[in-house]
Chain A
Amino acid sequence: MSELRVKISGFGGQGIILSSFIIGKAASIYDQQHSSMTQAYGPEARGGACSSQVVISSDNVEYPLVDTADVLIAMSQEGYDTFLPILKKGGILLYDTDLVEKLQSHKNFIAKGIPATRLAEELGKKIVANIVMLGFATKQAKIVSPEAMQEAIADSVPSKFIDLNMKAFQAGYDYNEEQ
């Protein structure tokens, strides 16, 4: 049985929960895997700390929570600070370089940054930053197949914004880290 535990963190309004929904859907509906997605949020609608988690498994997901993550996606400084301790040794950290600026030592895992929000703004809508990040995660952490991720994105966003979201996915997927 192979299992991948992904934690996504940021603040309310960034599409953190939608991101994990799309990952879970890509895995369980389009990649024929099993997945379980859970979320944590405060009473605030926007701006408060927000995190969600997905477990992807070749078998039934028994334990649905992410106590230790194989992949951590950080879309805010607070999210990075809070959840870095649960990232496994050898795990993958993906972060928005403009939103996570105070970095700790990354010698125990693989860290890859992308200016996801800035790339989304260049595409015309800041709101697709999460999809840019999903493109990046698909390439860098291979959480699901690119085909499944694209199908799940197309399935989960309003139809008139599919093109924009596909561009966002591609921008993240093609991004070359220059660090």
Chain B
Amino acid sequence: MFKKSRLIGEYFMQGDIACAEGALAAGCRFFGGYPITPASEIAERMAMRLPLLRGVFIQYEDEIASIAGILGASWAGAKSMTATSGPGISLMTENIGLGMMMEAPCVVVNVQRGSPSTGLPTSWGQSDMMQARWGSHGDYGSISLVPNSPQEFFDLTITAFNFSEKYRLPVFIMADALVGHMTEKVVIPPVEELEIIDRKYTNKKPEDYLPYDYGKNLIPDFAKAGDGYRYHTTGLTHDKRGYPNMTFECQNELVPRLVNKIKNHVDDISLTEEYDIEGADVIVISYGITSRTILPAITMAKKKGIKIGYLRLKTVWPFPEEKIRKLSKKVAGFVVPEMNLGQISLEVERCAHNDSIVKLVPHPGGGIHKFEDVLHAIEEVAYGK
């Protein structure tokens, strides 16, 4: 079926499949998962493609085993991934925290459907955005990327692997059923033209190596499994040797580092797209598929003479706090349409503080925003109602 092990060229490709191809291009050679609509096509594609690339595909008994499997594969040196939807993420959540604590690079794809619970299996939503940030217990920095087209699903999957290796953590891709099941042209460049970041291994000798020692960037270097390095890791609070050390001092060194290794690199991680921000009275902030479905309302607002800017978050977590704080001092307000009943709008409110108005345009998922609702919110902010 696939004569070439690597695809290059132009394809008319579904979003989910583009995600799988992006993973393969990034060097992913281990997929562990359990099928679920609307993410099953990712697993299906990986099952077909990975054996051709000497990779491993395992369909586990459930999502809990799947996330455990990809953490293990990551620890053995493979770039690994799983793909699921909201109900699957709920099951994976405990071990996602383990991945954060062990600092295991891997990619977790959530093709969001209508939630909560089993919700709308074949339809879309964006209501797992806060779960991606705060799902597992405890404090940790996290990264979530949100694509709005099959091409971007391909591109951001590569970025997700790069960030996961660079910052050593499970990275979320927060797609949705509409993007996952949408088919558009996807251009796959030769692998030499892609920026691929691989794991950073220590250059220390085995006797000098400490698995959780770190430098200025707060990120520990790996040792290659099988090269004679001693390695210990645990979900318990641990010292630089990776051994449990349940003291305040150790907790106070480890946990803030897990947060700060992301916080200190927001500028590198935060990817946004901006139009007409300079001099805007109203800025619409959106992400994922919503950034496309609301465009007619923005065009109409512009026609009506409203000075409107547009900010699209490709990286939702870490949230671009500084950017929003600065903008909030210059504009009348923000309009945040999202396919949930208010999640990222809360972050915008927090950063806008009392400097400007924030207007949520909610939607429960399973459809798209009504043109009038978005336009109405823009007008309310523009005319100061």
**How far apart are the CA atoms of A103 and B10 in the complex, in Å?**
41
Cα distance A87–B364 when bound, in Å?
Answer: 27
Q: Do A25 and B12 form a contact, CB below 8 Å, given A41-B122, A64-B292, A65-B368?
A: yes
Distance, CA A39 to CA B182, complexed state (A): 7
Give bound CA distance, A34 to B184, whole Å.
Answer: 8
Q: Which residues does chain A contribute within 8 Å of B185, judged by CB atoms?
A: 28-29, 34-35
In the complex, what residue of chain B is closest to A22 when comparing beta carbons?
Answer: B12
A14 within 8 A of B: no
Q: Is the CB of B121 within 8 A of A43?
A: yes
Within the complex, what minimum Cβ distance (angstroms) separates B179 from chain A? Answer: 9
A110 within 8 A of B: no
Q: In the bound complex, how far is the Cα of B184 from the Cα of A61, in angstroms? A: 9
* In the complex, chain B residues 351-369 whose Cβ is within 8 Å of any chain A Cβ: 368
Query: A39–B121 Cα gap in the complex (Å)?
Result: 14
- Besides the contacts A29-B10, A40-B122, A43-B122, what 19 more A-B pairs have beta carbons closer than 8 Å? A24-B184, A28-B10, A28-B12, A34-B184, A34-B185, A35-B184, A36-B182, A37-B12, A37-B182, A38-B178, A39-B181, A41-B122, A61-B184, A62-B295, A63-B292, A63-B293, A63-B295, A64-B182, A64-B292
Q: How far is the CB of B225 from chain A (nearest CB, A)?
A: 43
If A28-B12, A42-B122 touch, does A37 touch B295 (CB 8 Å cutoff)? no
Give Cα A29 to B10, complex, Å: 7
Tell me the smallest distance from the CB of B122 to a CB of chain A, in Å: 6
Contact residues, B178-194 vs A (CB, 8 A): 178, 181-185
- A43-B121, A61-B184 known; A24 vs B12 contact (CB < 8 Å): yes
Q: Output the least CB separation between B298 and chain A (Å).
A: 10
* Shortest Cβ distance from A54 into B: residue: B183
How far is A63 from B178 in the complex, measured between Cα atoms in Å?
A: 12
Instruction: Provide the bound-state CA to CA distance between A38 and B367, in Å.
Output: 13
Interface residue A95 (Cβ < 8 Å from any Cβ of B): no
From the candidates A21, A43, A65, name the one contacting B12 in the complex (CB within 8 A). Answer: A21
Among A36, A37, A64, the one with the most B-chain Cβ atoms within 10 Å of its Cβ is A64
Tell me, rounded to whole Å, the shortest Cβ–Cβ distance linking A179 to chain B: 34
The residues of A with any CB-CB pair to B shorter than 8 Å are 21, 24-25, 28-29, 34-43, 61-65, 152
Would you list 7 pairs from A and B whose C-beta atoms are within 8 A, ordered by A residue? Answer: A24-B12, A24-B184, A28-B12, A28-B184, A34-B184, A39-B181, A62-B292
A65 to B293, Cβ gap below 8 A?
yes
Q: Could you say which residues of chain B place their CB within 8 Å of the CB of A65?
A: 293, 368
Interface flag for B206 (CB, 8 Å): no
List residues of B (1-32) whose CB comes within 8 Å of A's CBs: 10-12
CA distance A64 to B15 in the complex (A): 13
B256 within 8 A of A: no
Residue B72 is within 8 A (CB to CB) of chain A in the complex: no
Nearest chain A residue, comparing its CB with the CB of B9 = A29
Judge whether B121 and A36 touch: CB under 8 Å.
no
Which of B11, B12, B184 has the most CB atoms of chain A within a 10 A radius of its CB?
B12
Instruction: Kindly supply a per-residue 1/0 record for chain B positions 159-192, scoring 1 wherever the CB is within 8 Å of any chain A CB and 0 otherwise.
Output: 0000000000000000000100111110000000
Give, as a whole number of angstroms, the nearest-CB distance from A64 to chain B.
Answer: 6
Residues on A with beta carbons closer than 8 Å to the beta carbon of B183: 21, 24, 36-38
Residues of B within 8 A of A41 (CB): 122
Give A36 to B10 CA distance when docked, in angstroms: 14
A37 vs B184: C-alpha distance in the bound complex, in angstroms? 6
Q: How far is the CA of A152 from the CA of B184 in the complex (A)?
A: 14
Smallest CB-CB separation from B295: which chain A residue?
A62
Nearest chain B CB to A70 CB, angstrom units: 16
Decide if B116 is an interface residue (CB 8 Å cutoff): no
Asked if A38 contacts B181 (CB within 8 A), the reply is yes
Q: How far is the CB of A7 from chain B (nearest CB, A)?
A: 15
**Cβ of A87 to closest chain B Cβ, rounded Å:** 19
Q: How far does the alpha carbon of A62 sit from the alpha carbon of B185 in the complex, in Å?
A: 13
Closest to A20 in B: B183
Give every chain B residue within 8 A of A152 (Cβ-Cβ): 12
Q: Which residues of B contact A38 (CB under 8 A)?
A: 178, 181-183
CB distance from A31 to the nearest CB of B (A): 11
CB distance from A120 to the nearest CB of B (A): 24
A43 contacts which chain B residues (CB < 8 A)?
Answer: 121-122
A91 to chain B: closest CB distance in Å? 19
Q: Give the docked Cα–Cα distance between A43 and B122 (Å).
A: 8
Contacts of B12 in A (CB 8 A): 21, 24-25, 28-29, 35, 37, 152
| CA of A47 to CA of B183, assembled, Å | 23
Closest to A155 in B: B12
B296 interfacial by beta-carbon distance below 8 Å = yes
| Chain A positions within 8 Å of B295 at CB level | 62-63
